[in-house]
Amino acid sequence: MSKESKMTREVYDAVLLTPGAVGISMASKKLLKESLGAGYLFKMFDKNGYAEEAHRHNIAMENFTAEREKYLEEVTDRRNKIARLRAELAEANSDIKSTNQSLELVRRINELSRKAMPRRPQLSNHYKPSPRMEDYMTIFGLITGGVVGGAAYLIL
């Protein structure tokens, strides 16, 4: 049964019982010239019986009140612990998500690191000079090398 339906039922019962109890009390006062409350029943005992019963009732009410306060404190502590644990769970879930995200990034980095680097493009892969051009390049290289080498020799 939900909280709302329990509360509704309690209110309904209270609305029905309260006027009935008030009506009986008013009728008993008019007819018997005294109330028919709990005190009336105890007055039917001898005078000491009423005092003893009232004392027992008061002690029982004190014990009940103490137990109820302890119960409410335990319920409040329990609710606070549940709220704290739920907050910790939410934080742990966010930590787990960020950890999983970090692990996924590390996995991707490692995956890319293991792959061989692509080869750098070179002109020699696409162009082969003709044999005549190779001869000209060789002669040009020898002339250039000789000029640079001679200049270096003179400078030093």
Each residue of 109-141: b (16+ CB within 10 Å) or e? eeeeeeeeeeeeeeeeeeeeeeeeeeeeeeeee
Domain annotation covers residue 134: yes
Question: What pLDDT is stored for residue 137 in this prediction?
Answer: 76
Q: How many domains does the chain have?
A: 1
3, two tokens: 């909280």
Enter the tokens of residue 114. 């293991």
pLDDT band of 141, cuts 50, 70, 90: confident
In a domain, 31, yes or no: no
Task: Examine the pLDDT at 74 and tell me if it is beyond 60.
Answer: yes
Domain membership flag for residue 14: no
Decide if 33 is inside a domain. Answer: no
pLDDT at 119 (0 to 100)? 80
Instruction: Specify the pTM.
Output: 0.39
| Residue 44, helix vs strand vs coil | coil
- Range from 37-51, 98-112, 121-135, 139-153 carrying the lowest mean pLDDT: 37-51
| H-type alpha helices, 33-130 | 38-43, 47-114
Q: Looking at residue 17, what is its pLDDT? A: 56
Q: What percent of the chain has pLDDT over 90?
A: 13
Band the pLDDT of 71: cuts 50, 70, 90: very high
Residue 65: which domain range? Answer: 38-138
